[in-house]
Structure 1
Amino acid sequence: MTEHGYNEGVKNFKCDECGKLFSQKRDLIQHLLIHSGAKNFKCDECDKRFTHKSHLTQHLLIHSGAKNFKCDECDKRFTRKGHLTQHLLIHSGVKTFKCDECGKQFTKKYNLTNHLLIHSGVKNFKCDECGKQFTQKNTLTKHLLIHSGVKNFKYDECGKQFTHKHDFTQHLLVHSGVKNFKCDECGKLFAQKSHLTKHLLIHSGVKNFKCDECGKQFTEKGHLTQHLLIHSGVKNFKCAECGKLFAQKGNLTQHLLIHSGVKNFKCDECGKQFTVKGDLTRHLLIHSGVKNFKCDECGKQFAMKRNLTPHLLIHSGVKNFKCDECGKQFAVKSNLTKHLLIHSGVKNFKCDECGEQFTQKNGLINHLLTHSGVKNFKCDECGKQFAVKSNLTRHLLIHSGVKNFKCDECGKQFYQRSSLVRHLLRHCVGKSF
């Protein structure tokens, strides 16, 4: 028994609201103010209100800027001793509070309480800007910084800026070169655990994000968002070298490698080099012999879908690309580009056997077959054999009886354009121009 008439340690005064016990009646009375909702003590700095004057006094330390309590482990400073005491639990490694839902452990009960809101599914805090909802108010507060556009954390090495310090700290790991998170499926290493988690979705095969425009599916929402820029037609990223525009910054970054002339990715099969690893990966499909993309019209197969798509235009009959020199039209722009080399007169591809030169590499390759003596293309009508398929195709016109090439001078008709050209030379003999 003390001089004040009560036993220390004995708590005879109980709160009927929450069941909390107190050793002194005055403490119970003070406590009951919390349940009353009365907050008579107001902070003149931020208008925050408190039930007890002592709580206001402690709160004012935040505005004073005075942080007299320092952590010897990490030098972090606090306005209150209680905050330092709680902070020290982090360094102790002791996590007494465990979540029964997922097993995650916490050093503070307060953190566990906040964590449990995630499992409850209740999201009472909504962002007025984008409508996104959160379980905790402080998470909403952090989220609002994104809409403010304020990025106070900048890394001078790459110039990248961040809204949150946590994101900045995580980004530093990328530059450190340390990659402690490994994918058990393919062995790829990551600097951040979150990056590994996203990567694992690729191996799962789950693609929950679908593009309503073209039906393409993605493992991550961010990838879908980036993809949608393609359909929007908006191209905000311009190449300073050639003026080409891109919908995505990543595509511009890869494009710039073309102008650098650097080709670090080499094909071990044929020695061809590439600026982008993705281009090398696609190129390797050619050597694999695997052709999974088939044309339903003619049965021709392709190693890559990007090659099948332009091929289909040939069957459509649509020819939107016209040569201004001779009027010839093409279904594919790349074919027009190759054709223009004929008019340029430039012949960069030379045959080492006979010295004949060609404007296109394909022309030289086909020509070399004539020197090989190999003739794999045979005419079923007369048995004549050819080294090049296009020569057989032209030859078949003779058996068809169709003569589409007519001489305007004498009316004589020919199966092949080359025969008409030779014939026209005869009309030119003896004429002066």
Structure 2
Amino acid sequence: MEKPWKCGDCEKGFISPSRLEIHQRSHTGERPFTWSVCGKGFTQLSSLQKHNLTHTNERPFKCCDCGSRFKSSRDLVSHQRTHTEERPFSCSHCTKKFRTSSNLQVHQRVHTGEKPFTCSVCGKGFTHSSTLKTHQVTHTNERPFKCSDCGTGFKRSGDLVSHQRIHTEERPFSCSHCSKKFRTSFDLQIHQRVHTGERPFTCCVCGKGFTQSSTLRRHNLTHTNERPFKCSDCGSGFKSSGELVSHQRVHTGERPFTCSVCGKGFTQLSSLQKHKATHSKERPFKCSA
């Protein structure tokens, strides 16, 4: 397509004089469209209109598949790709594909090593501004995002949204292989590794692969005598938080797993499952001799 209108500063071409005029504002710094509430200026009227929505709860763009609403048409288009699984932006280094150009841009920093966002407290660098913001909360005990149902506080709005689905029982992320549903896209991503066989987290000691980094961390403890999870009642140490939680029921007397036949309670699910066999004639363990 011919672009006859040229910028005198950088020689970039445009298809219309109005596009050229908007572009030239990037050189002059002119921002003729100003929002009266916060005073922020914009080079285009459309940018001002989109910005206006940040001062309201209005979300006029609705997804016809799931009903989710968005403040801009661009956000809606990006969201709809979660339903269509379209990934139009490809990485030139590894051919990995992404739903948005911004996700591609962030990903490419994996290859370039660029970490443009730096923590002012500890100097750690990050590839994305949102990751830096999340990290900065680790230097405080602030949990500004509160659940209106139970009062639990969270460090990130995304964690609050995920938590609230416990109350609503909403599971908006569906597996395309088996239709199982999940509360977060992260949980879906981990689940899909069951189908793909992907195990991206590998133990450097024995080479065993895992689907999650947390599972690898727990596994790493099997190669050491480290027991970092301590009981506050008796000082016993455990290799996982789950083992500690089970142990603490010895002190609290809590037995959350109850037999539906006789009402007997157990501290662990596995103990309940073994107990249930006493109510049946099932004998699943056969002698090979």
Q: Into which bin does the TM-score normalised by the smaller protein fall? A: 0.5 to 0.7
Structure-2 change in CA distance of 1:262 and 1:86 (3 Å):
closer
> Cα distance, 1:141 vs. partner?
6.2
Asked if structure 2 preserves the Cα contact closer than 8 Å seen for 1:117 and 1:136, the reply is no
1:336 to partner: Cα distance:
4.2
Q: Secondary structure in 2 aligned to 1:198?
A: helix
- What code does the residue aligned with 2:38 have? I
Residue matched to 1:180? 114
Residue number in structure 2 paired with 1:267:
203
Q: 1:292 to 1:310 in 2, by over 3 A?
A: closer
1:220 is displaced (CA, Å) by 2.0
Q: Does 1:195 align with 2:130?
A: yes
Change (3 A) 1:170 1:227: same
Secondary structure at 1:73's aligned position in 2?
Answer: coil
Please give the residue correspondences for 1:116-195 in structure 2 after superposition, counting only pairs within 5 Å: 118=38, 136-140=48-52, 144-145=60-61, 146=70, 150-151=76-77, 155-156=87-88, 157=90, 168-176=100-108, 177-182=111-116, 183=118, 185=122, 187=124, 189-190=126-127, 192=128, 194-195=129-130
Runs of 5+ unmatched residues, structure 2: 41-46, 62-69, 91-95
Residue deviations 1:306-355 (CA, integer Å, cap 9, x gap): 3333444552245414799xx99743223345677x9422589xxxxxxx
Shift of 1:239: 4.4
Distance 2:31 2:52 in 1: 21
User: Where do residues 277-426 of structure 1 align in structure 2 (5 Å cutoff)?
Assistant: 277-284=213-220, 287=224, 289-294=226-231, 296=233, 300-313=236-249, 315-317=253-255, 319-321=257-259, 330-337=266-273, 343-345=283-285
**CA-atom RMSD in angstroms:** 4.5
Secondary structure of 1:207's counterpart equals coil
Number of matched residues? 239
What is aligned with 1:110? 32
Moved over 6 A (4+): none
Identity %: 24
Aligned to 1:17: none
Give the CA deviation at 1:228: 1.4
Could you tell me how far 1:209 is from its partner in structure 2? 1.6
Q: Is the 8 A contact 1:321 1:332 kept in 2?
A: no
Is 1:246 the counterpart of 2:166? The answer is no
**Structure 1 residues 87 and 248, CA gap change in structure 2 (3 angstroms):** closer
Q: What corresponds to 2:168 in structure 1?
A: 232
CA contact (8 A) 2:227 2:239 kept: yes
Q: How far apart, in 1, do the equivalents of 2:287 and 2:249 lie?
A: 28
Q: CA deviation at 1:257?
A: 1.6
Deviations 1:97-144 (A, max 9, x none): xxxxxxxxxx11536x55x95369xxxxxxxxxxxxxx9544136964
Query: What code does the residue aligned with 1:108 have?
Result: E
Indicate conservation of the 8 Å contact 2:257/2:269, yes or no.
no
Q: 2: distance between equivalents of 1:344 and 1:218?
A: 45
Conserved in 1, the CA contact under 8 Å of 2:256 and 2:265?
Answer: no
8 Å Cα contact 2:134-2:155 kept in structure 1: no
The equivalent position to 2:23 in structure 1, one of 75, 78, 87, is 87
1:366-387 deviations in Å (ceiling 9; x for gaps): xxxxxxxxxxxxxxxxxxxxxx
Deviations, residues 169-208 of structure 1 (Å, cap 9, x unaligned): 3223134344522545475541x4x334324324433332
Q: Report the equivalent of 1:59.
A: none
TM-score (norm 2): 0.60
SS of the residue aligned with 2:38?
A: helix
Gaps of 5+ in 1: 1-66, 96-106, 121-134, 162-167, 349-356, 358-433
Report the residue type matching 2:51 in the other structure.
T
Deviation at 1:212, TM superposition (A): 4.7
Whole-angstrom distance in 2 between the partners of 1:110 and 1:78: 19
CA contact (8 A) 2:257 2:272 kept: no
